[in-house]
Amino acid sequence: MRESRWQQFDFAIVACVFGLVVAGVAMIHSATCGSACTGLLPPSSYAVRQGLSAGAGFALLVVISVIDYRLYRPYAFHLYGFAVGLLILVLVIGRGGADNDYGSKRWIYLGVFDLQVSEVAKLAVLIMLARVLGDKPAGPLSFKRLASSLALVAVPVALVFVEPDLGTSLAFLTIWAAMVLVAGVRWRHALLLFASALAVSPLLWLGMKDYMRQRLTTFVGTIFDLEHAAFDDGYNILQARISIGSGGLFGRGYLEGIQGHYGFLRITQSDFIFSAAAEELGFIGAGVLFCLFVMLLFRVTRAADMSRDEFGRLLAFGVGAMILFAAVANLGANLTLLPVTGIPLPFISYGRTSLLTNLAALGIVQSVLLYRLKYRY
């Protein structure tokens, strides 16, 4: 690859992600080594697996960055079809987590690795949307193209909802909405879709599993009656708030957390890792993590703005929307501002498929930067 092209590589993106991943592996170790934890060695098995996946993910980022992103365009619908096929397959042979995740089927066992199909499908759907929305004539999207893009997204949304996984279903819809706004949509069409969504929302409520409704009602209940949350289903939400508050400005110190180490706060390696980090690293440490996310999203948005074609622009904005939604959903749940959806915090929460997918997505963003000079009007 020519030196001039490598000069377009955004090392700031890699630096931000590297900081988030290192912090994530460190916090996963702290969250899973238990009350007997006295140091970094030996690392917990969760931290080892996440670290190995991070190494593979950074290698994947580099490899994907040197592939011209426009090569994905002719195969967008092939990737989409493959993703839909995997989502159907996981409903047949898939399995849940260690606690069976409320009877869910989200993972396909591959021997040494459990593949969470919905994470991979997000990237495939994103590429498909960039193709469909990017092929439009100049001007706002036609209603026909808008409706067809929604119909294509509705298929994976429905399949993931059946797994069941409400959070990832919402992620698909958020990615679609963000890319539609970037592509250009008439306000009357947007209002029509919004009104339609409100009209069918009662059907969504009826289609939810009991635990999904319970999470929503628990969230509302803790807002109005937090003092009794410790005695009902809002226990972990209350413990998350206690963890964040007890960290103070500088935190208790790394490996010195009480809420997670002694079992008061649960699922600290994934859903509530930010609360555990805030307890140990304090407001300053949590603020640094937040700033890394802001800088990362700024650089991804910059890459989208620098793209010289609509396909690359939509790809980069779609990746930014995917990361932003996951970060907001997870941080909002930790801060008791949003209901718990089980969405992992990008690059920090334990989740190997999520980590690999997000790093691969950033590889596509880097490709948009590297190959933008090759594009000619």
Which pLDDT belongs to residue 35?
A: 59
Cα separation, 250 vs 256, in Å, equals 12
Which pLDDT belongs to residue 325?
A: 98
Burial of 325 (0-12, 13-18, 19+ CB in 10 A): buried
Number of neighbouring beta carbons within 10 Å of residue 317: 25
Cα separation, 368 vs 296, in Å, equals 15
Which pLDDT belongs to residue 102?
A: 54
Cα separation, 316 vs 127, in Å, equals 10
328 pLDDT higher than 50:
yes
For 107, the enclosing helix (H) or strand (E) is: strand 107-109
Cα separation, 369 vs 375, in Å, equals 11
Please report which confidence band the pLDDT of residue 374 belongs to, taking 50, 70 and 90 as the band edges: low
**Mean of the pLDDT values across residues 19-31?**
95
3-state secondary structure of 47: helix
pLDDT one-digit tens code per residue, 261-308: 887 888 889 999 999 999 999 999 999 999 999 999 999 999 999 998
Please report which confidence band the pLDDT of residue 213 belongs to, taking 50, 70 and 90 as the band edges: confident
Number of neighbouring beta carbons within 10 Å of residue 160: 25
Which pLDDT belongs to residue 66?
A: 95
Please report which confidence band the pLDDT of residue 1 belongs to, taking 50, 70 and 90 as the band edges: very low
- For tokens 């993703």, name the residue: 83
Which pLDDT belongs to residue 132?
A: 96
Cα separation, 241 vs 117, in Å, equals 32
Number of neighbouring beta carbons within 10 Å of residue 344: 25
Which pLDDT belongs to residue 6?
A: 75
Q: 340 and 333 in contact (C-beta within 8 Å)?
A: yes
Which pLDDT belongs to residue 209?
A: 79
Please report which confidence band the pLDDT of residue 97 belongs to, taking 50, 70 and 90 as the band edges: low
Which pLDDT belongs to residue 99?
A: 46
Q: At 124, which amino acid appears? A: A
- For the chain, what percent of residues have pLDDT higher than 90? 63
Residue (of 210, 242, 247) closest to 226 by Cα position:
242
Which pLDDT belongs to residue 377?
A: 42
376 pLDDT higher than 60:
no
Number of neighbouring beta carbons within 10 Å of residue 155: 16
65 pLDDT higher than 80:
yes
55 pLDDT higher than 90:
yes
Which pLDDT belongs to residue 101?
A: 54
**Mean of the pLDDT values across residues 88-93?**
94
Q: 128 and 76 in contact (C-beta within 8 Å)?
A: yes
> Which backbone phi and psi does 93 adopt, to 5 degrees?
-115, 0
Which pLDDT belongs to residue 38?
A: 65
220 pLDDT higher than 60:
yes
15 pLDDT higher than 80:
yes
